[in-house]
Amino acid sequence: MNPSVVKVERHPESPIKVSGTAARSIAPPFSTLFSAEIINTPRYGKVKMPTLDLYDGMVDPEEHLGVYKAQMCMQDVDDAAYCCCFPATLKEVVQSWFNGLPQGSVTCFQDLADKFVSQFIASRKERRRCWRT
Asked if the model's pLDDT at residue 5 lies above 50, the reply is: no
Residue 18, in any domain of the structure: no
115, part of any domain = yes
Question: 6-35: per-residue pLDDT in tens?
Answer: 444 444 444 444 344 343 334 444 467 899
Angstrom distance (rounded) from CA 87 to CA 89: 5
Residue 29 covered by a domain? no
Does 110 score more than 90 pLDDT? yes
Cα–Cα dist 112/98, whole Å:
9
In a domain, 114, yes or no: yes
Residue 54 is part of which domain span?
Answer: 36-123
Percent of the chain with pLDDT over 90: 49
In a domain, 85, yes or no: yes
Number of domains in the chain: 1
Residue 133 in any domain: the answer is no
What does pTM read for this prediction?
A: 0.68
In single-letter form, the type of residue at position 118 comes to S
Report yes or no on 45 lying in a domain. Answer: yes
